[in-house]
């Protein structure tokens, strides 16, 4: 079944959609216990950790000892100093 048939017109309209937890607050007396910034940070951490574990990203340190993520599909970086 196509998503439009199931969810209705406008489902993919992310430019104009305004998600709200108003009904959860009203019907369930629920409020979030984690702030938005922390939730985004934890979500990003989880997905990056999973991508690294699955081999989608490689992690290494550069010359300055900074951690660098590179996508496994990316072509190897060319060192401009060796040219």
Q: Is residue 3 part of a domain?
A: no
Q: What pTM was estimated for this model as a whole?
A: 0.50
C-alpha to C-alpha distance for 3 and 11, rounded to whole angstroms:
8
Pick left, alpha or beta for residue 19 (phi over 0 → left; psi -120 to 50 → alpha; otherwise beta): beta
What's the count of helices (H) and strands (E) in the chain, helices before strands?
3, 2
DSSP 3-state of 3: helix
Residue 23 placed within a domain? yes
Domain extent for 42? 17-75
* Average pLDDT of span 4-33: 82
Between 70 and 43, residue with greater pLDDT = 43
Query: What total number of domains does the chain contain?
Result: 1
| Phi–psi pair at 71, nearest 5 degrees | -75, 140
pLDDT in tens, 10-21: 667 667 777 789
In a domain, residue 54? The reply is yes
Query: Mean per-residue pLDDT for 17-45?
Result: 91
């Amino acid at each position: 079944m196509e998503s439009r048939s199931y969810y209705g017109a406008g489902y993919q309209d992310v430019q104009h959609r305004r998600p709200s937890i108003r009904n959860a607050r009203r019907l369930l007396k629920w409020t979030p216990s984690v702030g938005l910034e922390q939730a985004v940070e934890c979500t990003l951490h989880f997905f990056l950790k999973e991508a690294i574990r699955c081999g989608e990203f490689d992690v290494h340190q550069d010359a300055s000892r900074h951690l660098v993520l590179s996508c496994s599909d990316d072509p190897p970086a060319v060192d401009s100093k060796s040219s």
